Every structure is written in C-alpha cells, then in structure tokens.
Amino acid sequence: MFLRELTVSAGNIKGLGPAKIKSLANMGIYNVAQLICHYPRDWEDRSHIVPLRDFEKGRICSLVSVIRSEWRQFGKTRTLKIYISDETTSASLVCFNRPFLEKQLLPGRRYYLYGSFSYKYGELQSSSFEFEPAGPVLQDARRGDGVSEKDFFRILPIYPLKAGLTQNHMRVLVSTALRQYAAPLENELPDSIIKREGFLSKANALQALHFPENIEQLEIAKKTFIYEELFYLEIIVGKRALERKNTAGVKIDREYNGKPSPLQQRLIERIPFTLTGGQESALDDINRDMDSPYPMARLLQGDVGSGKTLVSFLAALKAIDSGAQAAIMAPTELLAHQHAENAARLLEPLGIRVAFLTGNIKTAGRNQLLKSLAAGNVDLVLGTHALFSKSVVYKNLSLVVIDEQHRFGVTQRQAILAKGDRCDLLMMSATPIPRTLALTVFGDMDVSVISSLPPGRKPIETHLAKQSNEKKVYDFVRYELAQGRQAYFVYPLIEADECDGELPLRSLKDAESMAARLAKEVFPNTPLALIHSKIAEDQKKQIMESFRVGDTKILVATSVVEVGVDVPNATCMVIEHAERFGLSALHQLRGRVGRGEAQSFCFLVYSDELTEDGKQRLRVMLENSDGFVIAEEDLKLRGPGQIAGTEQSGYIKLGVADPVRDAECLSRARTDAFTILEADPALNLAENAVIKSVLRRAPPFSDVGL
C-alpha cells in the first residue's frame, strides 16, 4: 500500500474522539494519509542538555529542581514566580496567567525543563517554558512516576495548528497513526535511487521525519521526502512534455522550415527599427517550433519594455501565412485594447484582418464578429477571457498567445487551447520567472528570454522616500511637469473604506482621495485624471488616450496600470505605500516609465513606521534593475504560487520540498525523471514498475492541477 492509499477515516485512530475529529477536519485532515502527511513546520532539538548558565547559546534543556514559589505583585496583577536551579546556577519562572502551575511545579521535586531565558531585573528568568516531571529520585508515594530522560531529551516536531489542538495532541495523534498504519507502507521510489542516494524506506522516513532519534536521521528523512516530491513533480512534467511531442501537429502545410515567413519579412521591413538580438533569437525559436511536427509550447520571458508584443505579432503572422487564425489573450481590457490598437497599426497595412473581442462589446457588434471568426474572415483576434467563451467558435485557430500568463489559471489556458486543434501555445511574461520555478511549473515548456532592451533606453533612477518627506517628491515631479513631462501616482487602494481581509485600512492613502488632494492642493491647474478597475471600460479608454496624447499630465491610479501602458513622455512614477506591493508588481509599475529618450524616475514612498525587513525589501528595488534578480527575491518572499500565477489553480502543493531552497535537488530529480522517461516512456521496464504503480494507484498532485 502507498501512503496516499491510506484513505481510512481519521476516526479509526485509537483515542481520537469527536472533538478532535472536528478540529482535524477544520485543518482539512479527514483521513489517515492526510494526518501522516501533515508534516512538521519545525523541530525542537531537546537532544542535548543545555544548562541554565548557557542560556545565551539557545533554549535551555535541563534537569532542574524547584526551590520555592511565591506570588509577586506586577502593577495591579498578582503573578506566580517559581524559583529553580540546576547544577550550574539558579533562575525564576514567571508564570503569567498560569496560576495552576503552583500545584504542578512543587518545591523539592525535579523536572525536565525546556525554554527561553534572559536576564531581567537582575535575575535569570523565563516566561516561555515547558516541563515534565522527572523520573523518581526520592521514594515519595505522593509523587508517582515522571517521564524518563529518554522520553524528554529528544527531538520533537512542531506542527502547524488551528484552534482545538495543541502540539502534544498532534504529536500523540501522529505517533498513534504511524504505529497503527505505517509499517506496511511501500516505497515510492525505485530501489536503485534509494540505494544510490542513501534514502530511508517509506515507513522509516515517515517515523524519522515526525519523531527523529537524532539530527542526522532527521536530515536523511528530509532529503528522502524532498527528492521524492520533486522527482514525481518532474515525472509528471516530463510525461506532459513527451505527450505533447508525441502528438501529431496541426495539419497545415509548413513550408518555411523555421525561417521567417513572407508576412513576417514584410513586417520586419516596415518597422522603423531593427529587432534586438533577443527578439531575433526568440523569433528563431518560435519559427522552428511552429514548423515542427508537434504543437509549440513556449514561454517567452522578457523584462518590461523588451519588445515581447512585437514578437507575438510576428508569431501570429507565421500562423496566418499558413492559412490559419491566431488569438492573443490579455488579462485586462485595457491591455488587450492597447495590443489591438498596435496590431491594427502594424498589421492591417499588410492586409491582416484584425478584431478585438471582450465581454463589453455590444450584442450587435459581437454577433457579427463571432460570425466572422467562425467563417474565417478574421485572421487575428485580440481580447480578454471572452476569447474562450462558449459562444466563440474559430474556423481554424492554430496559435494562442497568452500575455501576462501569471494572471490566468491552468483551466483558462486549457479552455482557449480547446478552441483549436492542437494549437501552438506561446505564453509571455514580463515578470521574469526564476529558473528553479520554471523547472517546476513550466518544466514541460521550452523557454526563450529577451534579455536586451531596445537601444536608446536609459536606466530608470529609483529613489526611496519616507512618507513624511513626500513634499520633496512632489517638488521634483512639479519640476518634471514644468519641462513638459508627465507623471503617474499609484496607490494600493481605490477608496478609503476598502478592507484588507476583515480590517479597514484607514491609515492607507487611496487613489480617489489622493486624486482630489493632488488636483486641489499639490498640483492645481495641472490636468489630472483618475483611473482604476471600477471605472467603466469606455471611460478607461478615454482617460488613457488623453494621457497618451499628453492632454492629461498626471494619472492617478491603482495597480491597473501595472501592465500594458506605454506613454514615452511619462518620466515620473510615484508609488505611495510601496511596502504594500510585491516586488514584481513594483518592478512592473516602474517599467511604465523609461519608455522614451528622456531620463525617468521612480519614487517608492513608504510608511514612516516601516520595519527594517520592509526597508530591506524596498532596497532590493533600489539596488536592482534586473527583473530576474528581483523575481528571485520575490519568490523567496512570496512563494512560487503567486509569482507564477499558479496559486489560484493549485499548481504546486509540496509538503517538504521548496523549489528555491532545494534547487540542487530539483535539478538532480529532473535529470533522473527525464532520463527514465526518455528510455522508457511507458514505464514498462521492471525497474520502473514502482513509478508506474504510484502514478496509477496514488498519483501525486492529482487534486492540484498537475
């Protein structure tokens, strides 16, 4: 039996009553496998004695004697203090809100103690501690037996918990479950890998992960589970890649053999600049993929302003030259509309029939557009989620481009791909995805990177400013406006009564209030507009067009301008409460300026009460302009789900492994997984039987979209 086949109800665990069953259910734990897979988030190392005198080395873990107890007055509150000693020195335990300890820590008795100590008020003391009665030393019929030294001086798991359960409860439950069910569990890795890596068996690894005998055993158990999780992640990714490459391509005559098609050549000749080296390289990759016998699955990464959109237009021309249709999908109507305008400007002179489709298009125009799409009278359609609506039918869709891919879930990507017959897929991201994450989430895709920016772009100067110093920022922006430039002011909230979770954020500035204040008090007589997600799409277009042509000088916004806004004359980006934004969002917002020849500036305005950790995050922005470096830092801070756009679709759900921390193991597991699949795609060889059985009987990640 494999671990995930232990679907017997958690209620079968001995000693588990209705109240604890309910508490486990509140944590999403309903069966034995889920309980055993509720891995510790940390461990308390009580395996070495640390006497009281060595309190500065870490937590005390010692055998102490209780000397006496007394009640002390602290302000209006009486608090119990218990004085203890070991062989090295003495200390006191301050028992805030724990008066019952007077009857549990008795003078003359000995206890095993674990806790944090520090010098306060002239004595060594602790208010955070745990204890157990030590085994009998004096023959005292009243005291009974305590725990043995072996039971106390060990490594204990610390679990993530919710109300209704304590650490001791969880330890007992997991220990009982392991004792009842773990012994017969089968290994889930091939014996050759277990032997080569020195891993533990499944049963032993589980025991050692939850209740290790020593640190060395714990480390081996962690390595066993980290590798196993990453190995199966890469097996699934690898199988997906093989299935795609074994799929017959779209039945279109590909006659260019990876070279530019006639329409591509015509566009390249028409544009008034030369493609960058990164753009040319990415286009070569795409052309080879699209002329190959199996569907393309490529991720195109490039920093803000690197020219990915133009490459996507060239990819669309490749499909159109083959007699097919292409679709470019963006996450917001604002971005989709801008893409459509650029496509019309660049491609319609080539005879390309371009259309724009969103959910806000009126019924009459929409019906005509849908008929044209179905009849093949539209070559390229650009839009939002509406592109994969049930009513949308394509005559011959062969290329799907997804811009800002992290804004879409897995099911949404699949929905638009299903509109064609084995479509080529190009996903684009201006949020650079670190290699470690690309190997997991996008491991079945090929990756192209546009690392160079168009010539003539100047680096954006970034400055940090306290909220109390914002006048200096306003003065600088006023100077830039006087030079004929434009500016953005971005805020985390639309209106003052917005909430973060359940708490109102009254201390944060909002776009609506600040737009009024900036217009009236700070920049009077300066044309200013407000844009955010609650404004109607038609009005958004008017506001953006006014800003684009220079009639509006200041654009006050939320993160709605994070992507797709291209105004070369805008040279100032002011982000207030910058600490409220993720690093990648800050990088995207900063990329809205610096798109012309003039020097541009980004001001990250932060709260006066910002912590040192918060300041350090903003310093990453101050010291780095490389989106990949920023993305790595963002990944460390926020986790892989948010940065890859996989959180909403549940793409990664690892128990012990961390793709960033365990990058070396990830690379090794990927090599092993792909080597096995290349040699034995169907996993029919005897040495791969266990992998095939795991995938058939207890597939990992089966509930999370992989």
Instruction: Give the three-state DSSP class for 451.
Output: coil
Residue 632 placed within a domain:
no
Last residue of a domain, one of 417, 450, 483: 450
Residue 654 placed within a domain:
no
DSSP 520: I
Q: What is the CATH number of the domain that holds 137?
A: 2.40.50.140
Q: What is the CATH number of the domain that holds 489?
A: 3.40.50.300
Amino acid at 512: E
Rounded to whole angstroms, the Cα distance separating 66 from 86 reads 9
Chain position carrying tokens 């608090």? 79
User: Do 478 and 321 meet the contact criterion of CB atoms below 8 Å apart?
Assistant: no
**Residue 256: what pLDDT?**
59
Rounded to whole angstroms, the Cα distance separating 208 from 215 reads 9
Cα dihedral value 405, 406, 407, 413, nearest 10: 50
Q: Tell me, yes or no, whether 6 and 24 share the same domain.
A: yes
Rounded to whole angstroms, the Cα distance separating 190 from 695 reads 13
Last residue of a domain, one of 450, 478, 495: 450
Residue 68 placed within a domain:
yes
In the chain, which stretches have pLDDT less than 50?
137-144, 249-253, 500-504, 641-651, 703-706
Residue 433 placed within a domain:
yes
Rounded to whole angstroms, the Cα distance separating 3 from 181 reads 9
Q: Tell me, yes or no, whether 321 and 470 share the same domain.
A: no
Rounded to whole angstroms, the Cα distance separating 513 from 576 reads 13
If one counts the domains in the chain, the total is 5
327 beta partners: 381, 400
State the residue range of the domain holding 554.
Answer: 461-624
Residue 210 placed within a domain:
yes
**Would you put residue 310 in left (φ > 0), alpha (ψ -120 to 50) or beta?**
alpha
Q: Tell me, yes or no, whether 698 and 572 share the same domain.
A: no
Q: Tell me, yes or no, whether 141 and 166 share the same domain.
A: no
Provide the whole-model pTM: 0.66
Longest dimension (CA), the chain: 100
Residue 546 placed within a domain:
yes
CA 699 → CA 232, 286, 547, 657, distances in Å? Answer: 9, 33, 52, 17
User: Do 126 and 101 meet the contact criterion of CB atoms below 8 Å apart?
Assistant: no
CA nearest neighbour of 630 among 584, 582, 594, 581: 584
Q: Tell me, yes or no, whether 472 and 404 share the same domain.
A: no
Q: Tell me, yes or no, whether 197 and 95 share the same domain.
A: no
Instruction: Give the three-state DSSP class for 213.
Output: coil
Q: Could you read off the pLDDT of 5-34 as tens digits, one per residue?
A: 999 998 888 888 888 888 899 888 999 999
Measured on CA atoms in the order 694, 698, 704, 706, is the torsion positive or negative? positive
Amino acid at 91: A
Rounded to whole angstroms, the Cα distance separating 74 from 79 reads 7
**Residue 706: what pLDDT?**
39
Q: Tell me, yes or no, whether 37 and 96 share the same domain.
A: no
Residue 257 placed within a domain:
no
User: Do 307 and 455 meet the contact criterion of CB atoms below 8 Å apart?
Assistant: no
Q: Tell me, yes or no, whether 498 and 446 share the same domain.
A: no
Last residue of a domain, one of 416, 450, 484: 450
Measured on CA atoms in the order 265, 267, 270, 275, is the torsion positive or negative? negative
Q: Tell me, yes or no, whether 162 and 88 share the same domain.
A: no
**Would you put residue 577 in left (φ > 0), alpha (ψ -120 to 50) or beta?**
left
Measured on CA atoms in the order 345, 346, 352, 354, is the torsion positive or negative? negative
Rounded to whole angstroms, the Cα distance separating 49 from 112 reads 10
**Residue 516: what pLDDT?**
94
Q: Angle 215-245/689-697 helices, nearest 10 degrees?
A: 80
Q: Tell me, yes or no, whether 444 and 477 share the same domain.
A: no
62 beta partners: 113
Tell me phi and psi for residue 469, to 5 degrees. -105, 20
User: Do 308 and 302 meet the contact criterion of CB atoms below 8 Å apart?
Assistant: yes
Instruction: Give the three-state DSSP class for 665.
Output: helix
217-226 long-range CB contacts below 8 Å, 24 or more apart? 218/43, 218/155, 222/656, 223/197, 223/199, 223/665, 224/197, 224/199, 224/200, 225/39, 225/655, 225/656, 225/657, 226/656, 226/657, 226/658, 226/662, 226/665
Amino acid at 195: K
Q: Tell me, yes or no, whether 158 and 193 share the same domain.
A: no
User: Do 335 and 403 meet the contact criterion of CB atoms below 8 Å apart?
Assistant: yes
Q: Which residues of 108-121 are buried (b: 16+ CB within 10 A; e: fewer)?
A: ebbbbbbbebeeee
Q: Could you read off the pLDDT of 175-202 as tens digits, one per residue?
A: 999 999 999 999 999 999 999 999 999 9
CA 468 → CA 461, 554, 573, 574, 607, distances in Å? Answer: 21, 22, 18, 14, 8
**Residue 236: what pLDDT?**
87
Two structure tokens written together for 55: 């309190």
CA nearest neighbour of 382 among 334, 445, 323, 321: 334
Indicate the burial class of 255 (C-beta count within 10 angstroms; 0-12, 13-18, 19 or more). Answer: exposed
User: In 202-258, which residue ranges form alpha helices assigned H by DSSP?
Assistant: 202-210, 215-245
Residue 33 placed within a domain:
yes
User: In 277-418, which residue ranges form alpha helices assigned H by DSSP?
Assistant: 277-290, 308-321, 333-347, 363-375, 410-417
Q: Tell me, yes or no, whether 413 and 337 share the same domain.
A: yes
